[in-house]
Amino acid sequence: MRYDVIVVGLGAMGSATVYQLAKSGVNVLGIDQFAPPHKLGSTHGNTRITRLAIGEGMEYVPLVRRSHEIWYEIEKETGKELLNQCGGLIMTVSDGYGQHKSSDFLQNTYDAADKYGIKHEKLTNLEIKQRFPLFNIRSDERGYYEPEAGYVRPERCIEVQLELAKKYGATLNLNEKVKGFTADNSSVTIATDRGRYKADKLIISAGPWVTDFLPKYRDIFKIHRQVLYWFDIDDEKNYEAFREMPIFVWEFSNQRYDNFYGFPAVDGPQGGIKLATETYDTDTSPDDIEREVTSEEIQSVYDHYVKEQFPHLTSKCIKAVTCMYTDTPDAKFVIDFHPKHKNVIIASPCSGHGFKHSAAIGETLSQLAKTGKSDIDVSKFSFSRFRNA
């Protein structure tokens, strides 16, 4: 059987891509080694932050904006809520260390908001205290508020986009592992643990397994273990305030990676508040990652990020889950043709900040496969910016 396009990996990026391809009438085969959504890659944990003014760089704004449009289109078609624009608060000390290794995160956020006309407010310390009393901010901190920021439901997005892809005629092979590919000028062939398939184009969106397909580029994609924690609310009478609070990013100090982020209470009064830090110190892999979270890790996050900052959260951790960032050296994305094969396209797992852009990345990958060009400029996410690519 020959397809127009094969998509390997049906997580955040792949599910969006097969949906877009199938919807536009392309004969597409999507393959995943598991049955997404699952908890073994980079797209689980109930929620992902979305913000419009992207502190990681201006070039991302068109992607997130288009993603919001696509999610609203899908919500209309399916009746399922994917995106909740509950508002977003960034808090920082004057020279706070930004998320995803970005410097000047807050200033970049302001610049992106100004350039793209994104609604926002600059908040003083006192204004944050008055409007968001759940956050016990220190006197040297200030903030940025974006009313259209919020969160997306990652598992639901994958589920719905795969359902729609099927509805529009995609073939989806789940629990089938791709072992490798070959490409020549006219076609690509993939070998799996069940057979071989041919197509005109191949899109690789294999998440933290990306280097299985790019073994020569292991130094470009480094995997880092991250942990998501859900801390309990002290009293049910405070649940409503936590349910109504914005998502937040807290640049906690000017120490490297000393920032954390979190979400409103989306899982009911007993579900707790999800928050997470970022760590980049030790490289790992999907096979080697330690998936258990220790009580020492939980205690340390509670002591450093919760105890004083959230007087209405307790030290009881309802659950803790591990997940993987796959980081490039500049913490930006790779969305580009394979350095050696022009009929193979790579979508990286996006350095820990890709979900908010994933719907538009799917559309972009679909356009690149069909025409070689995309509506949104992704030239900043090229392979060629790396010395050895």
Ligand X SMILES: Cc1cc2nc3c(=O)[nH]c(=O)nc-3n(C[C@H](O)[C@H](O)[C@H](O)COP(=O)(O)OP(=O)(O)OC[C@H]3O[C@@H](n4cnc5c(N)ncnc54)[C@H](O)[C@@H]3O)c2cc1C
CA 376 centroid distance within chain: 18
Task: Report if residue 149 touches ligand X, rule: CB under 6 A.
Answer: no
> Residue 21 Cβ, how far from ligand X at the closest point, in Å?
15
Q: Which helix (H) or strand (E) covers residue 2, if one does?
A: strand 2-8
- Rounded Cα–Cα distance for residues 207 and 351 (Å): 10
Write out the binding residues for ligand X, residues 293-332 only, by CB under 6 A. Answer: 323-325
Q: Which of 213, 226, 228, 210 is nearest to 325 (CA)?
A: 226
**What are the CA-CA distances from residue 70 to residues 210, 240, 362 (Å)?**
26, 30, 10
Report, in Å, the least distance between residue 99 CB and ligand X.
9
Site size toward ligand X (CB under 6 A) is 38
32 binds ligand X (CB under 6 A): yes
- Between CA 101 and CA 97 the distance in angstroms is 8
Pick from 11, 55, 87, 150: which binds ligand X (CB under 6 A)?
Answer: 11
Which residue of 21, 28, 31, 91 would you call a contact of ligand X, by CB under 6 A?
A: 31
CB closer to ligand X out of 175 and 237: 175
Residue 206-235 contact track with ligand X, rule CB under 6 A, x = bound: xxxx--x-------------x-x-------
Distance CA 159, CA 157 (A): 6
- Contact range with ligand X by CB under 6 A, out of 17-25, 88-96, 159-167, 353-361: 353-361
CB nearer to ligand X: give 194 or 237. Answer: 194
In the complex with ligand X, the residue whose CB is nearer, 129 or 304, is: 304
- For every residue of 221-281, DSSP letters joined together read -EEEEEEEEEEEES-GGGHHHHHHPPEEEEE--SSTT-EEEE----S-TTS-EEEEE---S
Nearest-approach distance from CB 235 to ligand X, in angstroms: 27
Q: Closest distance between ligand X and the C-beta of residue 277, in Å?
A: 10
Instruction: List the one residue out of 214, 191, 195 whose CA is nearest residue 204.
Output: 214
**Interface with ligand X includes 262 (CB under 6 A)?**
no
Q: Which is nearer to ligand X, 142 or 224 (CB)?
A: 224
* Amino acid (one-letter) located at 82: L
| 9 lies in the binding site for ligand X (CB under 6 A) | yes
Asked if 157 is part of the footprint of ligand X (rule: CB under 6 A), the reply reads: no
Q: Does 42 bind ligand X (CB under 6 A)?
A: yes
* DSSP for 45-66, written as a single string: SS-EEE-SS-TT-GGGHHHHHH
Binding flag, residue 350, ligand X (CB under 6 A)? yes
Residue carrying the six token digits 């960034």: 90
Q: How far apart are CA 206 and CA 330, in angstroms?
A: 20
Rank residues 135 and 197 by Cβ distance to ligand X and give the closer one: 197
Determine the interface stretch with ligand X among 10-18, 127-135, 141-149, 297-305 (rule: CB under 6 A): 10-18
User: Could you say which residues in the range 63-102 bind ligand X, by CB under 6 A?
Assistant: none
Shortest Å, Cβ 207 to ligand X: 3
- Report CA dihedral (298, 300, 304, 307) to the nearest 10 degrees: 50
Does 150 contact ligand X by CB under 6 A?
no
Residue nearest to ligand X (CB): 11
Position among 17, 92, 205, 364 found at the interface with ligand X (CB under 6 A): 205
Pull the structure tokens for residue 171: 């073939």
Return the axis-axis angle of helices 105-116 and 61-78, rounded to nearest 10°: 70
Distance separating alpha carbons of residues 329 and 221, to the nearest angstrom: 8
Which residues make up the interface to ligand X (CB under 6 A)? 8-14, 31-34, 36, 41-43, 48-49, 177-178, 205-209, 212, 226, 228, 276, 323-325, 349-350, 352-356
